[in-house]
Amino acid sequence: MRSHAASVNSPRPATRSIIRQALGEMDAAGIDFSLLSLTSPGVQGVVDPRQAVTRARVANDQLAEVVAAHPTRFGAFAALPLQDPAAAAAELERCVTQLGFHGALVNGYSNVGDADTGWYYDHERFLPFWERVEALGVPVYLHPRDPLAGNRGIYEGHPELFGAVWTFTVETSTHALRLMTSGLFDRFPGLTVILGHLGETLPFNIWRISHRAAFMGDLITFEKPLSSYLHDNFYVTTSGNFHTQTLNATLAEIGVDRVLYSSDYPYESMREASDWFDNAAISDSDRRRIGCTNARRLFPGLPERIGP
């Protein structure tokens, strides 16, 4: 098996065609199983909390239909209306306990009221949500989106830096650091968060971040070195970062048991991802763990028989 994360964002009439195409790409790339999710910004961009709750439920029901039609090829991450943290907790529980989903994927901060207002998940209003996540024992994938309009000044005149080129990385790594420095993982040590793109640069920068943060005096509201949270509470995927030197640096920092294979389809090519991974200069043992074993440990509900 190669576990893999993909995204689906389409009206229902187009879903069958999209799924057929995805299955064809998976077969050509040697990918047995994919976890589907709603692509960015998804529910997080819905400014009305009530509409967000409705849209999340509809999206999750549609994902459940796809999984039910192809149970040995697809699983799913729940879309969550974090504009209403209590509703998001309830929807996650429904998706995990009733629909068999393997966790959730959230596309960065959630807009509330208007497109210029965003809630990040380190705020105390989200503590009941995170408590439910820990109790359910499933991971939350923190997926990128572009920064709020009010935070884009440094990019003025450089639209080429938006999206996957750079702003996704800065936005998501900063959000992850907010979670760490807020003390969230001290309160809920069993939480697991997944970051794509080999950790959004955090594995390469965490020593300096952690080292300098230790000198912040009264600003410190967390109990452990920040590197400990990255090592203990995060997984990273290879999605869209098909570079062996970067992979090896990540393995050296957080260890092979915290890395998962992923391609970032449909934004990246499954075949390019698999060709790179099959030939990357890592041991066959590490290749098996990244491509299969780690996913089975993190997602214990995966079907025993996987593949076409």
What's the mean pLDDT in 83-105? Answer: 98
pLDDT digits (tens, 9 = 90+) for 227-285: 999 999 999 999 999 999 999 999 999 999 999 999 999 999 999 999 999 999 999 99
Reference 2, options 274, 221, 192; nearest CA is 274
Separation between Cα atoms, residue 1 and residue 40, nearest integer Å:
27
pLDDT digits (tens, 9 = 90+) for 4-56: 554 443 334 457 888 999 999 999 999 999 999 999 999 999 999 999 999 99
**pLDDT for res 305:** 78
Query: Considering the entire predicted model, what is its pTM?
Result: 0.95
C-beta pairs of 163-170 under 8 Å, 24+ apart in sequence: 164/240, 164/267, 168/144, 168/197, 168/200, 169/144, 169/197, 169/200, 169/201
186 is annotated as an active-site residue: no
pLDDT digits (tens, 9 = 90+) for 67-86: 999 999 999 999 999 999 99
Q: Which residue in the list 264, 275, 278, 284 is annotated as catalytic?
A: 264
Q: What percent of the chain has pLDDT over 70?
A: 95
